[in-house]
Amino acid sequence: MSAERFVIIGNGPAGNEAAEILREKSPRSRVTIFGKESIRSYKPHLLPDVIAGKVDQENIFMKPDSYFREKDIQLRLGQRVKHVDFNKRQVLLEHREVVSFDGLIIATGGKPRIPEPLEVFEDVMLTLKTAFDAQLWVDRLSKTDSVLIIGGDLTSLSLTRALINLGKKVFFIVNAESFWPLPFNERLSTEIQARLCEKGVEVLNSRTVRRLTQLSDTSVEVETDCEKIRVGVVGAFFGLVPDVKFLVRSGLDIDRGILVDENLQTRFANVYAAGDCAQVYNPVIKDYWVSIGYENARTLGRIAALNMLGEMLSVKSSPESIFSLNGVKVNTSWWMEF
């Protein structure tokens, strides 16, 4: 297609990759990225190193501001999309601005998942998805020496390593749901616990957190099914869920993420979804799968952009690489590395 105005919602790897392709292949078009965070895209896997003080926050960014100016990609940061009107082909921003588009790529990624029983304690727990989260960790850790990690996803393991480097006392509750959408099996759980213990982490036998009470800025009381402890900070790490809540009433087909065909197109013409927020149809398994991971996101962003420009590329993922867990099909780029 020869769309003049491309809008990308999401400033992560999928959105940035899509923008780069659109600019390269369609030099005369207008390309705009909306990012809800106030800073440009960064490498989230470096956040634990920021907390550990090994990497300066200034050095986590993927591209400098000048890149976007040189490429004439409009990067609108700190501007949250509130709704999309697909019939009028308009994006509505939280600050009450209407932006029309010819082509749209939704690449909003994921947000930290808090399992339902723990949602009530959401304000007491820290997560680690954004640079802002990292700053909160830095602030809190400056006032305390002990941390409880609940969960067990990859981020939590990286963070634990950082905390140990900082000399903090780390408690850990390994939760079976933590690797959503992958559940721990016994072998994996045992292996993780053993590795944590080797590093000096105190792995608690508890499996259920009953109550979290914020006693002060530097103290949280944790009541589990078998003990009660006090720590300075509690972190929750249960993987990510697609960040698509704002689209629920937009008319898009949404299950866990946005349902798209093998070309990443939604049910609306010239509207695509890519990255962690998409559930992609695979004609071989005749089902949708979710994509997780930095490299997957970039690949999907690239494919979405090329297809919007008229290609008809399908996402290449062999059925063997797709896990079926809890009824959800999952493709991860980092799973094998782990």
Partner 1 sequence: MAKVDITVEVCGMAGDGTIAAGGMINEAMSLGGYYVLGFDSYPAEIRGFGRCVTHSRIGSEEISALQDKTHVLISLNDVQSRSRAPFLQENGMVFFDSNPASYVTEEESLAAVLKTGVKLYGMPFSDLATQAAGSPRGRNLSALGGFAAVCGIDPDLFRQVISNKFESKGPRVLDMNLKSFDAGHEYALENFSHRLVGLFKGLEVEKGEKKVMLSGNSAIGKGAVDAGLKLYFGYPITPATPIMEYLAKALPPRGGQVVQMEDEIASIGAVLGASYAGARSMTATSGPGFALMTELITHGVMAEIPAVILDAQRGGPSTGLPTKTEQSDLQAAVFGGPGDSARIVIAPTNVSECYKFTVKSFQLAERYQTPVIVLTDFFLDNRVENVHPPHSTEQELQRLSVTPDSSKQGDYKRYEDTPDGISPRALPGMKGFNFVATGLEHSQYGAPDYSPENHQKMSAKRHRKIESALRDLFKPEEFFDDSEVDLGVIGWGSTFGSVLEATQEARRKGLKVSALKITSIYPYHAREIRAFMNKCKMILIPELNFEGHLANLIGHLHNSDVFRLNLVTGSPIPPSVIVSEIERLISGGVK
Interface residues with partner 1 (CB under 8 A) are 38, 40, 65, 68-69, 74-79, 92-100, 132, 135-136
**For partner 1, the closer CB: 41 or 296:** 41
Which run of H or E residues covers position 290? strand 287-292
Residue 196, sorted as left (phi over 0), alpha (psi -120 to 50) or beta, turns out to be alpha
**For partner 1, the closer CB: 92 or 176:** 92
**For partner 1, the closer CB: 75 or 209:** 75
- What is the closest distance, in whole angstroms, from the C-beta atom of residue 93 to partner 1 in the complex? 8
**For partner 1, the closer CB: 65 or 311:** 65
- Tokens read off for 322: 């797709």
- Tokens read off for 202: 């105190």
Burial class (CB in 10 A: 0-12, 13-18, 19+), 219: middle
Contact 79, 93 (CB under 8 A): yes
Q: Please state, in angstroms and rounded to a whole number, the distance separating the CA atoms of residues 193 and 9.
A: 38
Q: What angle separates helix 154-165 from helix 186-198, to the nearest 10 degrees?
A: 10
- What is the closest distance, in whole angstroms, from the C-beta atom of residue 174 to partner 1 in the complex? 30
Distance set, CA 8 to CA 34, 60, 133, 309 (Å): 6, 22, 24, 14
- What is the closest distance, in whole angstroms, from the C-beta atom of residue 21 to partner 1 in the complex? 19
Distance set, CA 170 to CA 32, 120, 148 (Å): 43, 23, 6
Rg (CA), the chain: 21
- What is the closest distance, in whole angstroms, from the C-beta atom of residue 60 to partner 1 in the complex? 15
**For partner 1, the closer CB: 79 or 160:** 79
- What is the closest distance, in whole angstroms, from the C-beta atom of residue 19 to partner 1 in the complex? 12
The neighbour count for residue 296, using CB atoms within 10 Å, is 24
- What is the closest distance, in whole angstroms, from the C-beta atom of residue 237 to partner 1 in the complex? 21
**For partner 1, the closer CB: 134 or 244:** 134
